[in-house]
Amino acid sequence: MPTASRPDAARIGIIANPVSARDIRRVVANASNLQVADRVNMVLRVLTTVASLDVPRVLMMPDRGGIRAMLLRSLNRERNLHHAFPEVEFLDMEPTSTVDDTFLAARMMRAAGVKAIVVLGGDGTHRAVVRACADIPVAGLSTGTNNTFPEMRESTITAMAVALYATGRLTPERALAPNKMLEISINEGERRDIALVDAVISTDRCIGARALWKTETLSAVYLTFAEPQAIGLSAIGGLLQPVGRREAGGLAVHLSHDPATRRLLLRAPIAPGMVREVGIAHWEPMPAGEPFPVALQAGVVALDGEREIAFNAGDRVRITLRENAFPTVDVARCMQAAAREGLFRLSSSTL
Amino acid sequence: MAGKNPFPLSRDELLKCYRTMGTIREFEERLHIDFGRGDIPGFVHLYAGEEASAAGIMSHLGDGDRIASTHRGHGHCISKGVNVVAMMKEIYGRTGGACNGKGGSMHIADVSKGMMGANGILGAGAPLACGAALAAKFRKKGEVAISFVGDGASNQGTFLESLNLAAVWNLPVLFVVENNGYAESTSRDYGTAVDSYVDRAAGFGLPGVTVDGTDFFAVYEAAGEMIKRAREGGGPALLECKMVRFYGHFEGDAQTYRGAGELDKIRADQDCMKKFRAQVTAAGVITADELKAIDREVLGVIENAVKEAKAAPLPTLADLTTDVYVTY
């Protein structure tokens, strides 16, 4: 196997959210609940994989949700068994058990010079990492509810692709892919936020338990990409007019609960196990860079499945699609390149 | 639309919830002072900082719904409608207390309000809530039971056995884990193998939800869905409220286990009452003056409760042999 160009510089970060997939959709929709023990197992698999591919050091976000405590116990056991691990260092930060932990960890990892950040979470966790740090490549592992943004993939394979990139065996041009995002601006930038998959406007005006599952409150759905096989609110767009993750432009869907103004009724899987009828008024492509004004007077903007920002009459809400907004490690492309170029072959045979 | 109520509760209900949280806060702040002065016999564990959990959950309950509380039970009692004067007399050990002054802080009960009792034995409330839920199931009136435990007590066998029993019998019970980060003085990292209380539920096939327990509306909405589900026969569930406590495990606890500046920080950033005030005033539903009026009203209620408690007579020797199972 070719050796890394500068293996000593090859370090990666891991941000594992202990409380993704813990919201009310466990009760209203029987959504799955990945246990902390399984999240720790995923981290352990990432660690052993990157260790065997010459990544010497991994920075991790500390948490008070059980991942750090269980991981440290597991690492002690594994060391007794003489299994190889990279050096694991927890960031020197005090966890608050809020999304601020993810923001801070992502910024600290960038400052520490990580090559990529492996994220364990759902759409919301990935959004938080990108919001804090849009220039470090992200490699996502699905541990959330909808998991539209992170691909469902065995963590070993994601870790292999990350190690190929982090050790310089694959260049950014070959390993990374650009992604779209939505920029949400309230009153010309008084407040800004982003979404990686969907920004949904709801007549609901309380953040409350955050999750969004009541279709009668939906007013509009703005999407970076919309796949027909997706679960969650992006499925509405995916079943109307699919837009690929790598295609130009996004999609805006305007809903109506009034039979007089709606053009059709669509059945869509808006949450796990919940196929619901949604009244569609019209839909339109979202070209990059063009601000879309939100028509609803007062409501809530939900970002990647969670109610985030309440707005009132007089607030001007604009949503703009941005292309080439942040890079992700393109696992499939990395592994294809690795196979093509024999990156995992240990002999010089080209047979 | 400014001023239109965006919340899932009416204005009057919001004011009532604020009054409940304010009453708990003032009750506890006053006990902190009075206990420090040596006015109160026994032991007290204060609920200050955790009000949104009790108020958010109990807003969905009636007198027919029963709760089993913990050693930190004042907030549960007040939210469940137990008379504040009777509570204060109980804590002061006076006749006319909720249990005639014989139980003190950790044994306040009022069955007429569905409050089955605070409980000094950790994890002991969970099987009691299962019993109440079993009764509710047979009565078929749509009543539910709530078991409160802390993050420490959720490691007790009684709690885990109760999850199993509730699942097997499909009982209308909600297990609430009030996770304030410390089992007495032990941080969770040192005492809990799997530090997710939702995972406990998953192990028994029950749905579990984690909410920000310092956000009244997050607790209110999640608890509402779970209680509705239980009333309709959907069975048990677990709600983890991540929260903070403003005082020590008990009054007199030096809290050397806390980080530097931790208490100031949680009071500044994670005060559930501050968050509630900010949300309802920003939405233009309730004015700051209306909330201040409630603060003043609550101050009077607690002042009066203390005055009445201090004026009430102590139990006599003869009272020792009443309210007991043995005949003397």
Interface mutation target, options A33, A202, A297, A311, chain B, most CBs of B under 10 Å: A33
Whether pLDDT at A316 is above 80: yes
Which amino acid, A273? G
Measured between CB atoms, which of A27, A68, A312 is closest to B1? A312
- Helical residues (DSSP H) of A18-154, grouped into ranges: 25-28, 36-52, 67-80, 99-111, 123-132
Average pLDDT, chain B: 94
Q: Is residue A253 a part of any domain in this protein?
A: yes
Of A136, A169, A202, the last residue of a domain is A169
8-state DSSP, B314: P
Name residue A264's beta-bridge partners: A280
**CA distance, residue A177 to nearest chain B CA (Å):** 34
Measured between CB atoms, which of A33, A206, A207 is closest to B198? A33
Q: Is residue A238 a part of any domain in this protein?
A: yes
Q: What pLDDT shows up at residue A6? A: 46
A141 and A207, same domain (yes or no) = no
A46 and A139, same domain (yes or no) = yes
| B36 contacts chain A (CB < 8 A) | no
Q: Is residue A337 a part of any domain in this protein?
A: no
Q: What pLDDT shows up at residue B57? A: 98
Measured between CB atoms, which of A37, A98, A208 is closest to B218? A208
| B7 contacts chain A (CB < 8 A) | yes
Q: What pLDDT shows up at residue A209? A: 83
Between chains, do B221 and A312 touch, taking CB under 8 Å as contact?
no
A158 and A186, same domain (yes or no) = no
Per-residue pLDDT 10s for chain B (328 aa) are 345 788 999 999 999 999 999 999 999 999 999 999 999 998 899 999 999 999 999 999 999 999 999 999 999 999 999 999 999 999 999 999 999 999 999 999 999 999 999 999 999 999 999 999 999 999 999 999 999 999 889 999 999 999 999 999 999 999 999 998 888 888 777 788 887 889 999 999 999 999 999 999 999 999 999 999 999 999 999 999 999 999 999 998 989 988 889 999 999 999 999 999 999 998 889 999 999 999 999 999 999 999 999 999 999 999 988 988 888 7
Q: Is residue A114 a part of any domain in this protein?
A: yes
Per-residue tokens: A133: 């740090």
A188 and A240, same domain (yes or no) = yes
Per-residue tokens: A249: 């432009």
Q: Is residue A57 a part of any domain in this protein?
A: yes
| B259 contacts chain A (CB < 8 A) | yes
Measured between CB atoms, which of B192, B218, B226 is closest to A27? B226
A110 and A229, same domain (yes or no) = no
How many structural domains is chain A composed of? 2
A162 and A185, same domain (yes or no) = no
A98 and A159, same domain (yes or no) = yes
pTM of this prediction? Answer: 0.89
The per-residue pLDDT for range B118-169, each reduced to its tens digit, is 999 999 999 999 999 999 999 999 999 999 999 889 999 999 999 999 999 9
Closest CA in chain A for residue B174 = A27
Q: Is residue A331 a part of any domain in this protein?
A: no
Instruction: Report the percentage of chain A scoring pLDDT > 90.
Output: 79
Task: Give the CATH number for residue A97.
Answer: 3.40.50
Interface mutation target, options A24, A145, A186, chain B, most CBs of B under 10 Å: A24
Q: What pLDDT shows up at residue A5? A: 43
Residue A202 sits in which domain range? 181-324
Arithmetic mean of pLDDT, A151-157: 95
Q: What pLDDT shows up at residue B2? A: 44
- Rounded CA-CA distance A340/A41 in Å is 30
Task: Give the CATH number for residue A295.
Answer: 2.60.200
Q: How confident is the model at residue A350 (pLDDT cuts 50, 70, 90)?
A: low
- Rounded CA-CA distance B272/B220 in Å is 13
**CA distance, residue A306 to nearest chain B CA (Å):** 12
| B237 contacts chain A (CB < 8 A) | yes
Q: How many CB atoms lie within 10 A of CB B177?
A: 27
Q: How confident is the model at residue A79 (pLDDT cuts 50, 70, 90)?
A: confident
Q: Is residue A247 a part of any domain in this protein?
A: yes
Stretch (H or E) spanning A2: none
- The answer to whether A146 and A198 are in contact (CB under 8 A) is no
- Residues of B whose CB is below 8 A from A296: none
A236 and A304, same domain (yes or no) = yes
Measured between CB atoms, which of A26, A66, A314 is closest to B209? A26
Q: How many CB atoms lie within 10 A of CB A339?
A: 11
Between chains, do A69 and B189 touch, taking CB under 8 Å as contact?
yes
CA-nearest of A126, A272, A267, A287 to A197 is A126
- The answer to whether B301 and B30 are in contact (CB under 8 A) is no
The per-residue pLDDT for range A180-237, each reduced to its tens digit, is 999 999 999 999 999 999 999 999 878 888 888 889 999 999 999 999 999 999 999 9
CB pairs under 8 A between A and B: 112
Q: What pLDDT shows up at residue B327? A: 80
Stretch (H or E) spanning B287: none
A186 and A294, same domain (yes or no) = yes
Sorted by where each starts, the structural domains of chain B and their CATH numbers stand as: 11-320 (3.40.50.970)
Q: What pLDDT shows up at residue A30? A: 87
**CA distance, residue A87 to nearest chain B CA (Å):** 21
Q: Is residue A348 a part of any domain in this protein?
A: no
A214 and A249, same domain (yes or no) = yes
Of A149, A169, A189, the last residue of a domain is A169
3-state DSSP: chain A helix, strand, coil percent, rounded to 5? 30, 30, 40
Strand (E) positions, chain B?
66-68, 145-150, 173-179, 182-183, 186-187, 208-212, 237-242
Q: What pLDDT shows up at residue B16? A: 98
Q: How confident is the model at residue A97 (pLDDT cuts 50, 70, 90)?
A: confident
Between chains, do A70 and B208 touch, taking CB under 8 Å as contact?
no
Arithmetic mean of pLDDT, A33-56: 94
A235 and A89, same domain (yes or no) = no
Question: Which positions 137-196 of B are in contact with A (Cβ < 8 Å)?
Answer: 181, 188-189, 192-196
Strand pairing of A317-329 and A176-186?
A: antiparallel
Q: What pLDDT shows up at residue A1? A: 42
Contacts of A9 (CB under 8 A, 6+ apart): A113, A115
A37 and A138, same domain (yes or no) = yes
Q: What pLDDT shows up at residue A340? A: 96
Between chains, do A37 and B194 touch, taking CB under 8 Å as contact?
yes
Interface mutation target, options B177, B186, B198, chain A, most CBs of A under 10 Å: B198
**CA distance, residue A163 to nearest chain B CA (Å):** 29
Interface mutation target, options A17, A26, A90, chain B, most CBs of B under 10 Å: A26
Of A169, A193, A226, the last residue of a domain is A169
